[in-house]
Amino acid sequence: MEFTVIARDLGFTEGPVWAPDGTLWVVSITHNAIYNLTPDGDIIQKVDTKGGPNGLTVDADGAVYICQNGGVYGGTPNTEPGIQVWRDGTLEYIVKGGGEFGPDAPNDLCFGPDGRLYFTDPRGDEGPDINDPTTSRPGRLYSCNRDGSDLVMHWIGPVLMNGLAFTPAGDALYVIQTMTPQPIWRLPFDKVTGLGEPVEFCRLMSGAPDGMALDADGKLWVGANHDNTIQVFNTDGSYLKSVPLPEGTNAANVCFGGENLDILFVAGSGAGTVLRAQAEVPGLALRA
């Protein structure tokens, strides 16, 4: 795959997501904003969110759901953490953090087969060492209704809980652990009984897993921090290949987009870039 840089100077880029109107949304944690881009990388709109926007997803109507980490990872501190929604020109919170139960620094999110919004909370502790799990608190996995009501904490789990995605069949949820030993976990899912016990699914060959996207066959395409690759894993967890990226890219997250979902977009947090390449297989359409 040959990658082309389509946008530059965007700071700490994260969370690309393809929207129903044929545009791309990306995050800049350090610019405290989300950007709406054309498929070629031209800026259509910048939305100031304050703090530190992190992961993104969109619904079928094009509303953008944002993990607001409150200003960690290079954002502006002392902003309310939670889940924000940008809809019809208005930015609002549907989940607010803090307290014993609320999220401290939401990171990434997706809609589940049950229509609920699932998101991770790595807690945002200052200066965690990815090689030392004692340097941060255990992460948390939540879900809520799409209006933010009925907030449920499903799992108090690994340190630096990060990207997440459901399988095409909706029978399991993958959750990334960026902290050593850096596995990707698989939690079985049933619409009646909910999430089951996590089991280790795979580990990267090198680098630290951050965000991921699934293709239409259910294979995982995982952004590898500190490695300048996208690493691909089969549905049984076996390693398939590494796709090289330009030096310094530091892939934070990836998504499939384009009319046929056959373009792979990459948020290059290390270089402040967004990249694209023609994919060999189409991506899995996001649940909305």
Assess contact for 68 and 76: CB atoms under 8 A: no
Inter-residue contact 18 to 267 (CB < 8 Å): no
Residue recorded with tokens 């881009």: 37
pLDDT at position 31 is 97
Tell me, what's the pLDDT at 127? 74
Instruction: Please give the Cα distance from 120 to 107 (Å, whole number).
Output: 6
CA 288 to CA 5: how far, in whole Å? 28
- pLDDT score of 133: 82
CATH 2.30.30.30 fits 4-278, yes or no: no
Low-confidence ranges of the chain (pLDDT < 70): none
Who's near 267: CB < 8 A, 6+ residues apart? Answer: 13, 14, 15, 16, 26, 27, 211, 223, 251, 252, 253, 254, 274
pTM: 0.96
Cα–Cα separations (whole angstroms), residue 66 to 37, 107, 190: 16, 9, 26
Measured on CA atoms in the order 189, 190, 191, 197, is the torsion positive or negative?
negative
Q: Which residues contact 77 (CB under 8 A, 6 or more apart)?
A: 51, 70, 71
- C-alpha closest to that of 61 among 43, 86, 81: 86
User: How open is the CA angle 44-266-130, to the nearest 5 degrees?
Assistant: 125
Q: What's the pLDDT score for residue 136?
A: 87
pLDDT at position 2:
94
